[in-house]
A and B are shown apart, each in its own frame.
Chain A
Amino acid sequence: MAILEVHNLKKVYTTRFGGNQVQALSNLNFSVEEGEYVAIMGESGSGKTTLLNILAALDKPTGGEVLLGGRNIVTIKEREISAFRRDNLGFVFQDFNLLDNFSLQDNIFLPLVLQGVKPREMEERLKPIVDKLGIGSLMKKYPYEVSGGQKQRTAVARALITRPQLILADEPTGALDSKAAHGLLRMFGEINGEGQTILMVTHSVKAASHAKRVLFIKDGEVFHQLYRGGLSNEELYVKISDTLTVLAAAAV
């Protein structure tokens, strides 16, 4: 069953005085099945960020529809959108977006507090997640006291704790060193192995090579896609690189 369906998605940005129009997404179609791990790749300006903002319900498209669990998020009312977002989506950002004035534990609790979950239940949910992510001993620390990798794991825990239908990750390894990035990607693999659907936007070949499927976006459309099939990470890495080369060549 498809958990996410994107049909004919269009987004046109108009400059302030209506002069120039920029087509960020022209006609985008794809779907994500439950339990999938999809990476979306594309160069800067290919419409990745626009797509992610629309999927996150932070921005409205000019045309087309986005179905999450069968519900069109484009038509959700403004007042419900935040609740919808925090109940159904989990976010992992490039720059972590942790709040400095909360301990790691409180950062993870933030969406639950917004949902109105009881403190006891929050603690019950917290334990298995942070233990799995290996940050169980850091809960009393503050974001400025821990490393980048640990911060990003905290962000992952925050995304997981609401048990969302879909995790949206925006360049999750962008601000990490290679070792921390590797650890995080392995973690994503494990989480996905337990059935969590993940959609990751990245331009790192290394990151994309951990996914089960890779979509390439160019000029606001899906240009190509790769399935892992039986390939190892390294083999997929080579295939992605080749595709990117072709993509770059096509641009000329």
Chain B
Amino acid sequence: MKKLYFRLAATNMKNNRQLYLPYLLTGMLSAAMFYIMLAIQYDDGIRQMRGAGNLEAILIFGTYVIQIFVFVFLFYTNSFIIKRRKKEIGIYNILGMEKKHIARELAIEAVFTGVVSTGGGLVVGIVFHKLLMMLLYRITGLVTPIQFYVSGKGVFRTIVLFGVIYAAALAYDLLQVRLSNPITLLHGTSAGEREPRTKWLMALQGLCCVAAGYYIAITTENPLQALTLFFVAVVLVIVGTYSLFTAGSIAVLKLLRKNKRYYYQTKHFTAVSGMIYRMKQNAVGLANICILSTMVLVAVSTTVCLYVGTEDALKSRYPEEIVVSGTPVWGADHEKLAEELQRTIEENGRTVTARRECTTFALFGIDEGENGLRLTQDDGEINVNYDKLAMLDFITREDYEQYEQVSLGTLAPDEVIVVGTPAYTLPELKVLDRTYRVKTVELPDEAVADSKDSVIIGSGYYVIMADEAAFREVYEMQSAYFGENAAQCRYELLLGIDGSRSERIACDNAVSDRLAAIASDTGLTGCHTVRGEYREHNRSDFMLMNGGFLFLGLFLGSMFLMVTVLIIFYKQISEGYEDRERFAIMEKVGMSSQEVKATISGQVRMVFLLPIVTAAIHVWAAFPMIRRLLMMFGLMNGRLFALCMLGTIIAFGVIYFIVFLATSRSYYKIVGNQI
């Protein structure tokens, strides 16, 4: 008797291999991916590395996402398969198999599926672990040698997760069998033929949600606010997408149907009614594809952009190789400091290729429209007014000209130039009790762009003062006014050097040592605190973080892609079975095979385009917001992001299209039997 169950289970899975094979394969791949994620995370080599904390946090985050995701979609796939198999189970039931026998057979199948997917996945994972590790090291620029090893903890957690998933799936299947009688089992697959009702309210709600999400994404100017609102927008758009796909599509199609002139045309007649019917069955599946596609596009394009833009981010953060800042400003011998450092650099065999310096202090201002900016340093006030917040960098004309390599002409002591975006248009600038006339000058775009780049809040300006006296006057005025909260004036020295990467690192180390000595010997330069930052030192940190993000983006991207493929495949199959009869009838009633084929390909194309086009629109709407978020990671290059986005969309579109063509063949095979 026991043997019989095994044989039955084996035959079943063989006969349903069209359904089971993709299920097994995805289970296996996700187990492999999950294991690899864990194994990398538990790798001692990575843990001991400098700055690996960020990378580890990124990987842990990835593990959570995969965990939730794998659970949801494997469960979904399983419920799809059991729905398709209801008829077969019904027949067993009628032929005299008791429910407990069916349960036993299903249990054998579940154990088989679980063992094969998890075991196979672990094998694949262990084999490919090193390869992916190499990929990760490569993109993060790590050079530690990689040993082959098997992570026991990783294996354990994978087995636990997938054990739980397949047990839950089995429980669901058993519940389905238990809850139904043979007749409903027999008709299981053809249930639910009713025409869907129009849910106007839901359609409207979907429209509102998507519109609200788009509105937030497009209008949120402030990157800090964007961070908090991003998830709100994402949730709104996801909810809206589901509502629009389920209710909105049907509402639109029904409106089309009401238009007799349009509806009663050969082309539209079958297409519209077919779509109404099809949307009811597949709206959720299409919405899933849409959301997943959006996720792939966003995850891949942003991480690629971050990675490719690492150099940009580094340059914007550290305009030159060495950035030294020091206080106090007055009473310190900056020339001496620069000389000391330059000597150190030259002793190291390098030449100074650029030297720029400036003295600045920054105040916050709240934009009060016609009344101009009201300066404040109160944290409470600053935190609630992000979108109206402006940062004012005070600088002397001389410093600015030298720093940006521009010429501004002369300024009267009561005149200022305000550079920044959005452009400052008022004729006067009030700084506490003093009022300055604003002089307008034409500046090259790069200089203006630079001033915006340095801040991530609403607006940022350079306030250029006539000379050091005027500059110092404002500084002392604000010191007295704000007291404890007053802005600190800072001297900044930028030094560019030549040489290869390792030469520069060596030089950076020497400068760093020299700075430490200078800092401890206040008498030498008069500087109480000096701090140095080095582009090359930070490059590895940037690479580690951005590379980690890229790795995760590609990893999750391929996972989402895999699931998208799986959903498209199952959708095509289920639609094929449903459409088969309908097209057979249409042909009997007098539709030619050409017309039937045209209708089929029309529908197939519509279903193909709907999710991907919607995803592209979502991404387009999200673009401004993600751009602002990227600014927080130091990526200011909007064009680069646009290019990455476009590239990702095109690459994804091509893959999606290939997958679609391949799965369409199975659809046509099913439908085509009749034609």
Query: Contact: B586 with A99, CB < 8 Å?
Result: yes
In angstroms, how far is the closest chain B Cβ from the Cβ of A33? 25
List residues of A (67-102) whose CB comes within 8 Å of B's CBs.
79, 81-83, 85-86, 89, 91, 93, 97-102
Question: B195 within 8 Å of A by Cβ?
Answer: yes
Question: Could you say which residues of chain A place their CB within 8 Å of the CB of B593?
Answer: 82
Given the contacts A109-B264, A119-B261, A119-B264, A100 and B193 also touching, CB distance less than 8 Å: yes
What residues on A are CB-neighbors of B588 within 8 Å? 58, 91, 93, 97
Q: How far is the CA of A3 from the CA of B91 in the complex (A)?
A: 48
- Residues of B contacting A113 in the complex (Cβ-Cβ under 8 angstroms): 264-266, 269
Contact pick for B582, options A58, A99, A114, CB 8 Å? A99
In the complex, B591 has a CB within 8 A of chain A: yes
A14-56: CB near B (< 8 Å → 1, else 0) gives: 0000000000000000000000000000000000000000000
Check B590 against A97 for contact (C-beta < 8 Å). Answer: no
- The answer to whether A101 touches B195 (Cβ under 8 A) is yes
Q: Which chain A residue lies CB-closest to B276?
A: A101
Asked if A206 lies at the interface with its beta carbon under 8 angstroms from chain B, I say: no
Quick check: A101 and B266 within 8 Å, CB to CB?
no
Q: Is the CB of A86 within 8 A of B590?
A: yes
Complex contact B594–A79 (CB within 8 A): yes
Quick one: which of B273, B587, B595 contacts A101, CB cutoff 8 A?
B273
Which residue of the partner chain B has the closest CB to A100?
B193
A158 near B: Cβ within 8 Å?
yes
Q: Once the chains are docked, how many angstroms separate the CA of A122 from the CA of B264?
A: 10
Q: Is A227 among interface residues, defined by CB-CB distance under 8 A?
A: no
B402 interface residue per 8 A CB criterion: no
Which of B265, B587, B589 has the most C-beta atoms of chain A within 10 angstroms of its own C-beta?
Answer: B589
Q: A99-B585, A101-B273, A106-B273 are in contact. Are A82 and B261 (CB under 8 A)?
A: no
A170, chain B: closest CB distance, angstroms: 10
Please, how many angstroms separate the alpha-carbon atoms of A116 and B267 in the complex? Answer: 10
For residue A237, CB closer than 8 A to chain B, the reply is no
Residue pair B277, A144 in contact (C-beta under 8 Å): no
User: Which A121-147 residues sit within 8 Å CB-CB of chain B?
Assistant: 122, 142, 144
Contact A82 B592 (CB under 8 A): yes
Within 8 A of A (CB), among B530-552: none
Select from chain B the residue with minimum beta-carbon distance to A89: B590
Given A99-B585, A101-B273, A119-B261, decide whether A82 and B591 contact each other with a Cβ distance below 8 A: yes
Residues of B at the A interface (CB closer than 8 Å) are: 193-195, 260-261, 264-266, 269, 273-274, 276-277, 582, 585-595
> Ordered nearest first, which 9 A-B pairs have the shortest CB separation?
A86-B590, A82-B592, A101-B277, A119-B260, A97-B585, A113-B269, A119-B264, A101-B273, A100-B193
A-B contact pairs, 23 of them (CB 8 A): A82-B591, A82-B593, A83-B590, A86-B590, A91-B588, A97-B585, A98-B585, A99-B582, A99-B586, A100-B193, A100-B582, A101-B276, A101-B582, A102-B273, A106-B273, A111-B589, A111-B590, A113-B264, A114-B266, A114-B590, A114-B591, A116-B266, A119-B261
Other than the known A82-B593, A110-B269, what 10 A-B pairs have Cβ atoms closer than 8 Å? A83-B592, A85-B590, A93-B588, A99-B582, A101-B273, A101-B274, A109-B264, A109-B269, A111-B590, A119-B260
